[in-house]
Amino acid sequence: MMKINLTHSQIDLNTLNLEEKIAEIDAMITQKSGAGNDYLGWVDYPLHVDQAELKQIKEDAKYVREHFDTLVVCGIGGSYLGARAVYEALKGLYPEDPFKIIFLGQTFSGTYIEQVLRVLKRRKFAINVISKSGTTTETSIAFRLVKKLLVEQIGEEEAKKAIFITTDKEKGLLRPLAKEGYRTYTLPSDIGGRYSVFTPVGLFPLACANIDVDSFLLGAKEAMQLYANPNLKENNCYQYALTRYAMKEKLSKQVELFVTYEPHYQMLSEWLKQLFGESEGKEHLGIYPASCCFSTDLHSLGQFIQEGNPLLFETIIYVDKPLHDVTIEKDIKDEDQLNYLAGKNLEFVNEKAFLGTLDAHANSGNVPCIVIELDSLDERSLGHLLYFFMRACAMACYLLDINPFNQPGVEVYKKNMFKLLGKK
């Protein structure tokens, strides 16, 4: 169960008079008629998942787990963040599973890549290279290096059975490899990277990690059915989108701070930052997406949030039931004076930190807060949550008259970099 609490948001949706606009935009999303409509394939994708491909993904994942101890996922941006966010949110940062997922292709750091390659020399690994375009330099470089290592380890023919490609249906530099005998999964042409977590981009690595992809897709499907509703009063997803829109329009807030209370949700915040940042941040508009993990960051950025420049609002994702819990035991000496917590779980402590911080920020600090609360985070609720944000993001962009699905600004650095690198 997912609840959205707008009590601390300082926004009264009834005074905005945007119900009709919301209904109009909902029709644009459902009928795929808005700006960038050739990239609205994700909207009803949970209903149209290619079942044959899904079956293949599960079989291949089983094969990978049986024959290898590691999957190297090569990708960046939307071709990486979703899978990593879900993997870490569901498994934690130090999973017990001896089968490991290692992420590569998201950096030019020679230190990072060389250290990963050193680790891989001692592991039996398969590769999933994910790139819609097949031309993304970070991913291409990493794939070239890791493929060379794999071929050195097991030879060309065996390597073919250990490399899995996820790319555009027709276009791109990786597609021709399908003809050379590599298993290739399809990222549909009408779905962009940051909206692709429910496609093989997310599903194959997650299936390899033994994550229940059927439940994940079910959660997305349920969210799709729930939020395809033009009635603002009944639609939490659009209420969230409109509230954050009003944060900027009515309260002049420039920054949305995504807050979590679990370190293994930090990649979820990274996924959210990309989703909103690349979708909304154009034409000199948009809210800057940032993130904090509490209580860790209460000891660094907490001071700024409480009393600094009032430029931000918070969107807090709070999950009631953690993946694991620990009880604080009674200590006879009580030298650390913690016996007042004896018998209590860390879930209890974390919850009190959440409630105390909400009160401090929303009431004493006058920071508007949106709270999204979930009973627990499993495959199904996470599928629901990610779809919720994708649809809210599309709504948020259309409220600003922005195309949510392009990212023209990203090309500027690439052009300069290629010139400096001497690329023809």
Q: Is 84 in the site for ligand PA5 (CB under 6 A)?
A: no
CB-CB contact of 274 with 78 (8 Å) = yes
Please identify, among the stretches 117-125, 176-184, 190-198, 336-344, the one whose residues bind ligand PA5 according to the rule CB under 6 A. Answer: 190-198
Assess 194 for contact with ligand PA5 (CB under 6 A): yes
Cα(264)–Cα(376) distance, rounded to whole angstroms? 14
DSSP classification of residue 69: S
Could you say whether residue 132 binds ligand PA5 (CB under 6 A)?
Answer: yes
Query: Could you tell me the sign of the dihedral formed by the alpha carbons of 193, 196, 197, 199, in that order?
Result: negative
Nearest in space to 100 (alpha carbons), one of 65, 63, 147, 152: 65
CB of 133 to ligand PA5, least distance (A): 3
Q: Which run of H or E residues covers position 275?
A: helix 266-280
Q: Please pick, from the candidates 192, 205, 286, 365, the single residue that binds ligand PA5 as defined by CB under 6 A.
A: 192
Residue 91, number of CB atoms within 10 A of its CB: 18
- What is the spatial distance between Cα 345 and Cα 336, in angstroms, rounded to a whole number? 17
Residues in 326-345 that interact with ligand PA5 by CB under 6 A: none
CB 197 within 8 A of CB 386: yes
Residue 40, by phi and psi: left (phi above 0), alpha (psi -120 to 50) or beta? alpha
Minimum gap (Å) between residue 399 Cβ and ligand PA5: 20
For the segment 354-413, give every residue that binds ligand PA5 (CB under 6 A). 407
Report in angstroms how near the CB of residue 194 gets to ligand PA5 at its nearest: 3
Q: Please pick, among 62, 121, 321, 414, the residue that the annotation labels catalytic.
A: 414
Show the binding pattern over residues 251-280: x = contacts ligand PA5 (CB under 6 A), - = does not: ---------------------------x--
Give the range of 18-26, 53-61, 188-196, 313-321 binding ligand PA5 by CB under 6 A: 188-196
The span of 47-55, 128-136, 288-296, 344-352 binding ligand PA5 (CB under 6 A) equals 128-136
Does residue 77 belong to the site contacting ligand PA5 (CB under 6 A)? yes
Give the Å distances, CA to CA, from 337 to 90, 332, 333, 341, 344: 34, 10, 9, 9, 14
Whether 414 is catalytic: yes
Question: Rounded distance, CA 215 to CA 217, Å?
Answer: 5
User: 131: part of which helix (H) or strand (E)?
Assistant: none
CB of 130 to ligand PA5, least distance (A): 6
Q: What angle do CA 197, 198, 201 make, to 5 degrees?
A: 55
Nearer to ligand PA5, 2 or 76 (CB): 76
Annotation marks residue 48 as catalytic: no
Residue closer to ligand PA5 (CB basis): 5 or 133: 133
Kindly name the residue from 48, 179, 299, 324 that is annotated as catalytic: 299
What is the rounded distance in angstroms from the CA atom of residue 290 to the CA atom of residue 284?
17
Buried b or exposed e, range 263-275, using 16+ CB within 10 angstroms: ebbbbbbbbbbbb
> To the nearest 5 percent, what fractions of the chain are helix, strand and coil?
50, 15, 35
Q: Which stretch binds ligand PA5 (CB under 6 A): 61-69, 156-164, 192-200, 246-254?
A: 192-200
Task: Name the β-bridge partners of 315.
Answer: 258, 370
| Of residues 68 and 405, the one with the C-beta less far from ligand PA5 | 405
AA identity, residue 65 = R
Q: How many residues bind ligand PA5 (CB under 6 A)?
A: 14
Closest CB 147 distance from ligand PA5, rounded Å: 16
Binder of ligand PA5 out of 78, 202, 289, 404 (CB under 6 A): 78
CB of 72 to ligand PA5, least distance (A): 16
CB of 152 to ligand PA5, least distance (A): 25
Q: How far is CA 266 from CA 163, 382, 385, in A?
A: 29, 14, 15
Q: Does 200 bind ligand PA5 (CB under 6 A)?
A: no
- Interface with ligand PA5, residue 79, by CB under 6 A: yes
Q: Per the residue annotation, which of 138, 262, 270, 278 is the catalytic one?
A: 278
284 among known catalytic residues: no
At residue 71, the 3 state secondary structure works out as strand
Q: How far is the CB of 155 from ligand PA5 (least distance, A)?
A: 28
Catalytic residues: 278, 299, 414
| Residues in contact with ligand PA5 by the rule CB under 6 A | 76-79, 131-133, 136, 139, 192-194, 278, 407
